Amino acid sequence: MSSVAVAQHGHADSREFTAQPLGKIGVWWFLASEIMVFGGLIGSYILCRIAAGGWAVERAHVNTRIAIFNTLVLVTSSLTVVKAHAAAETNDRSAARRFMLFTVLLGCTFLCVKFYEYSHEIEHGFTPATGTFWSFYYTMTGLHGLHVFGGIVLNFILFLACGGKAWERIKHRIEYAGLYWHFVDVVWIFLFPLLYLA
């Protein structure tokens, strides 16, 4: 848009200045703020672990097999949300809806397994007050679990919307939900080796 046209209309259309939809840019800004939160937690965990020894004994009590299973569940859910986005791009409403439902079910599976893991650990006396490792463990995995729950709610709303009259208006939002879901997945990819393997 020329400067003359801007002067005539009083302002320029924001779409002229960006190749990306504003909603997508908003999601990226939100994720940037979330990176700061998790980055701070992960950085604090690493520094505390370097400064204080003896964490290997505490870490030995986490269930690595359950965590590996949960990792596979979450990685698979990232695949299903990619499939949902691809279906939305080709205007295949039924496939998009089906893959959104798979994503929701896999997210619920992740949380159910995590709750089982928590109950098993608490039953054996490992609570946030047990030690520094367990404080970090419950804080980081609990905050991640809240983000998974938020993603499940978002994906379920989109699943419902895919079946209604709003399809044309909301189908592009599957990509936005996918960006958030991939972020949740990437955070877990960092937490898994730090808490279960290191």
* 7 has pLDDT over 60: no
Query: Mean pLDDT throughout 109-134?
Result: 92
**How far is it, in rounded angstroms, from Cα 137 to Cα 128?**
8
Task: Decide if 15 is inside a domain.
Answer: no
With respect to residue 112, please indicate whether it lies within any of the assigned structural domains: yes
Burial of 66: CB neighbours in 10 Å, binned 0-12, 13-18, 19+ = middle
**Residue 114 placed within a domain:** yes
Report the length, in residues, of the chain: 198
With a CB cutoff of 8 Å and minimum separation 6, the contacts of 95 are 83, 84, 87
Say if 8 falls within a structural domain. Answer: no
Least confident window among 45-49, 102-106, 149-153, 161-165: 161-165
Asked, for residue 129, whether it belongs to a domain, the answer is yes
19 or 145, greater pLDDT: 145
Domain tally, the chain: 1
What is the chain's alpha carbon radius of gyration, rounded to the nearest angstrom? 21
Distance CA 121, CA 102 (A): 29
Within a domain: residue 137? yes
Kindly report the CATH number assigned to the domain that includes residue 119. Answer: 1.20.120.80
Which residues form the domain of 173?
Answer: 21-197
pLDDT at 53: 67
pLDDT band at 22 (very low <50, low <70, confident <90, very high): confident
Q: pLDDT tier at 162 (50, 70, 90 boundaries)?
A: confident
What SS3 class is residue 155?
helix
What pLDDT was estimated at residue 4? 46
**Cα first-last separation, the chain:** 55
Task: Check residue 1 and give its pLDDT.
Answer: 46
Q: What is the pTM assigned to this prediction?
A: 0.83
Report yes or no on 165 lying in a domain.
yes
Residue 105 resides in a domain: yes
Reported as a pLDDT band with limits 50, 70 and 90, residue 169 is confident
